[in-house]
Each structure stands twice: as structure tokens, then as C-alpha cells.
Chain A
Amino acid sequence: MKFGVIVFPGANCDRDIAYILRDILGQPTRMIWHEDSDLSDIDVVVVPGGFSYGDYLRCGAIAQFSPAMRSTLDHAQQGKPVMGICNGFQVLTEMGLLPGALVRNRDMNFVCDRLPLTVERNNLLWTQGYKKGQIITIPIAHGEGCYFADDDTLKALEDNRQVLFRYCDMEGNASEAANPNGSLNNIAGICNKAGNVLGMMPHPERAADAALGNTEGCNTDGLALFEGLVQSAMAVA
């Protein structure tokens, strides 16, 4: 399974992801400069976190027009996997690959924390490395991560079971107290209707290497997402 990681001016999680994919998981991984448009050799496109184009105007607003993202749109429309993490999630909503928008956190703070999430379903490419209902702990770091959508969109998301991760307490309750940013329905990550496009505010790549100290005990909660992806490729091959 070959991964492509988009590199924007202002991206800052691109190398973290490449390190997990290439060095920890041994997968072929290519960095794709935002001005490149050839994704023909890529299986999974990763849109990383950071501050693409300085996040001017709105987070992720300008990145959507880059040649690499125009090709990512085609890639997604062909049903191939695309994942956006943090700023990448914002880019994917801005370009309409995912519904809704990410707005300023409820309490105006930049939230940098390590929080429990529930895995809402595990029968998708993105979450098959987890158990259904599993509580995982993944770092977040964002100022504009409050998920917003109008009532109809939100209802469709829930009806179609497109919510993959929700902020929760240690017991797995998606309570208001466990909601770090005011996201509607405690939404931390969603997929599109077809399931091939994932967007999430938490950073699984930051909880995937024991050396970083983010994986207490044997907890490699973020790694399981990427391992699940790789295993699915092996199953197909």
C-alpha cells in the first residue's frame, strides 16, 4: 500500500505521518509537494495537520485550490482512500469532500491535550484496527476544531453512521464535560457517505511511537488506525 502525504507551505505534521508510515510500518511513502498533481502511483492520500498557507481567510480555505488537492478530489471521487488529520480535516470540509465545517473552539482556547475517544464503528477501512466501542486515547492540538453542521446534515451523518470518533469521558460517555471544543454531538472524526474519505481532528500519528512517550504502557492507540489500513491492503492482495 503506497501512501502519499501532501506537503503545503505551513504544514507541520507531514513528516510525523511519513515517519510512522515509512519507518514504523515500513510502507512506501511519497511526499507530494502542493504544486504536484500526479497521484497516479498513490493508494492512500494523507492530508496532514498544520497551518496550510498560513490558514489565511479560514483554516484550510486556500489549500483546497492547490494542484495536489485538485488531484486528491479526483482520487476521492474514484473511491480511493483519502484521510485528513486536523488541518487536513479542515481542508477536506472546505472543499466539500466531507460535510460541515470546523469553527473556533467554544472556549476560544487553543486546546492541546490527550483525550479519550470512542470508536463508533470498526467495519471501515479506517477503524478496523479497533474494537467497536473501544475507548482510545489520542492527542488533539487545535484552535478551530469545533465541528459544525446544520441540523439536516448532522442528522444525515448520524443516520448514515458517518461519525467514527467521538470525544468521551473515561467511561465512554460522550458528555458535554468531555467535549473539548464544543463540537456538535462530540464529533471528533467523520467519514463521507461512501466511507473512503476520513477527517479527524485528533492526531493518531502522535500516538504511534512508544519512543514519544505518548503511548502509555502498551497503548499504541493511534498506530492501530494505520495498521488497520495496511492490513486491509494485505487482505486484498
Chain B
Amino acid sequence: MFFSVCTPVSNAASAKSHAKSYNAKVYVTLRPSVLDPAGKAVRSGLNHMGYDNVSKIRIGKYIEVDLTAESESSAKEQLDKICDQLLANPVIENYRIEVLEAA
């Protein structure tokens, strides 16, 4: 619902006949400077379980996005905007996108 409020990208391919389908994977991670108390708690749990060799856990988000676009670069461009606008908060998070053409 809320996506409809965002300004659509002008070259959004959904209306075009030669649009292709893509599956994207978005990885959102905390910036290194942001504390991750949840990750710290999980690391401590693992240490208690005997995994003394685990020194660091950082917990992020993995998001799957299916979309249509004219090309892979157009899909990537739209996903960048989607991440900047909503999926990640640049103040505290970084993101990485993988785009694959749908089989």
C-alpha cells in the first residue's frame, strides 16, 4: 500500500511490453559504527554453547524483491531508490543488491 505513495521511477517498465521479470536480493546491514546489542547477545549465547571461536555477530536483514524492468540496469536503478527511500535507513544502515533475471 505504502509503495504507491512513492514517486514512481519515470522509466518504470511495468507498462512496457518488453519488460522482463527480475528477482532481487537485498542485504541490509548495520553500519560498522552502530552498536548491535542483538548481535552481541547472540554471540554471547554462542560462546555459552562452547563456540569460543565466534568473535563477532552482526545481525542485518535479507529482503527478496520481485519486480519487472526494461533491463537489469533499470531494475538496479529502481532498487537503489527503493533502498534509499525505505528498505534501508542510510543514517544507520548499508545495503547491497543482487539482481537476477527470473527463470
Contact of B34 with A103 in the complex, beta carbons under 8 Å: yes
Contact of A70 with B5 in the complex, beta carbons under 8 Å: yes
Contact of B91 with A107 in the complex, beta carbons under 8 Å: no
Contact of A108 with B41 in the complex, beta carbons under 8 Å: yes
CA distance A199 to B35 in the complex (A): 22
Chain A contacts with B in 66-123, Cβ cutoff 8 A: 66-67, 70, 93-94, 99-101, 103-108
Please tell me which one of the listed residues A99, A103, A107, A108 contacts residue B92 in the complex, with CB atoms under 8 A apart: A103
| Contact bitstring B59-103, A, C-beta under 8 A = 1, else 0 | 000000000000000000000000000110101100000000000
Chain B contacts with A in 31-57, Cβ cutoff 8 A: 33-38, 41
Residues of A within 8 A of B87 (CB): 57
Dominant SS at the A interface? loop
Contact of A182 with B33 in the complex, beta carbons under 8 Å: no
Chain B contacts with A in 1-33, Cβ cutoff 8 A: 2, 5-6, 33
| Given known contacts A58-B89, A103-B92, A65 and B5 CB-to-CB distance under 8 angstroms | yes
Contact of A108 with B37 in the complex, beta carbons under 8 Å: yes
Taking the complex as formed, is A150 at the interface, i.e. its CB lies under 8 A from any CB of chain B? yes
CB proximity of A140 to chain B, nearest CB, Å: 17
Contact of B86 with A65 in the complex, beta carbons under 8 Å: yes
Question: Size range of the interface on B?
Answer: 10 to 19
Residues of B within 8 A of A182 (CB): 35, 37
Q: Which residue of B has the minimal Cβ distance to A109?
A: B37
Q: Which residue of B has the minimal Cβ distance to A96?
A: B91
Contact of B33 with A66 in the complex, beta carbons under 8 Å: no
Taking the complex as formed, is A1 at the interface, i.e. its CB lies under 8 A from any CB of chain B? no
- Interface size counted on chain A using CB atoms at 8 A: 25
Residues of A within 8 A of B5 (CB): 65-67, 70
Contact of B38 with A101 in the complex, beta carbons under 8 Å: no
Contact of A100 with B35 in the complex, beta carbons under 8 Å: no
CA distance A18 to B47 in the complex (A): 49
CA distance A193 to B32 in the complex (A): 27
Taking the complex as formed, is A62 at the interface, i.e. its CB lies under 8 A from any CB of chain B? yes
Q: Which residue of B has the minimal Cβ distance to A150?
A: B33
Residues of A within 8 A of B6 (CB): 65
Taking the complex as formed, is A224 at the interface, i.e. its CB lies under 8 A from any CB of chain B? no
| Given known contacts A65-B2, A67-B5, A70-B5, A104 and B37 CB-to-CB distance under 8 angstroms | yes
Other than A99-B91, A104-B38, A108-B41, give 15 A-B pairs with Cβ distance below 8 A: A53-B2, A58-B89, A61-B86, A65-B6, A65-B86, A70-B5, A101-B92, A103-B35, A105-B37, A106-B37, A108-B37, A148-B35, A150-B33, A182-B35, A182-B37
- Which residues of B line the A interface, CB within 8 A? 2, 5-6, 33-38, 41, 86-87, 89, 91-92
| 9 tightest A-B CB contacts, nearest first | A101-B91, A65-B5, A101-B92, A65-B2, A108-B37, A62-B2, A104-B37, A101-B89, A108-B41
